[in-house]
Amino acid sequence: MMWMQEVLLAIERFPNHKHVFCGDPGFQLPPVRQLRDDARSLVPFSVATFPGHVQYFNENRRGKCPKLLRILTMMRRMIQDGEKSAEQISEWTMREFEARGRVIPMQEAIHMYEIDRDTVLVSCHSYADE
């Protein structure tokens, strides 16, 4: 997720370029707030800013496994309903994966990680050192 200010800056700096923003608005983690951003009033990206310029592709290309697709569909439904917190959805998801034996313990994941080949994306710099 990006801040609206970042999107508008990219469009302003490159006015003659075609801009393509891919994602799943409404179903992403919020943008990361950097220390230098605290003084500004930041607004999360919104497709409503670009009426008539948004094209939706609703085919799920992530989950080909029917069991995974069921979990993804249920997670999306819980987000849309708004009745469960992010923590409750996360806990439900972990229980679903644990029940299927699909959780890799942290030590095993660390052992599998190859620093010269793999990249780990995190929402905060402090998580990168864990």
Q: What is the pLDDT of residues 61-102, one digit of tens each?
A: 777 888 888 998 899 899 889 899 888 999 999 999 999 999
In this structure, the answer to whether residues 54 and 105 fall within a common structural domain is no
pLDDT above 70 for 129: no
pLDDT above 80 for 29: no
In this structure, the answer to whether residues 68 and 119 fall within a common structural domain is yes
**Mean pLDDT estimate for the chain:** 80
This prediction has a pTM of 0.56
- State both tokens at 63: 């989950």
In this structure, the answer to whether residues 66 and 53 fall within a common structural domain is no
Burial class (CB in 10 A: 0-12, 13-18, 19+), 66: exposed
In this structure, the answer to whether residues 98 and 126 fall within a common structural domain is yes
In this structure, the answer to whether residues 88 and 130 fall within a common structural domain is yes
| Residue 44 backbone dihedrals phi, psi, to 5 degrees | -65, 150
CA distance 14 to 53: 17
pLDDT above 70 for 3: yes
Residues 6+ apart with CB under 8 A from 57: none
- Give the total number of structural domains in the chain: 2
The range of the structural domain enclosing residue 109 comes to 62-130
Percent residues over pLDDT 90 in the chain: 19
- State both tokens at 52: 């008539």
pLDDT at position 120, please?
Answer: 67
pLDDT above 90 for 23: no
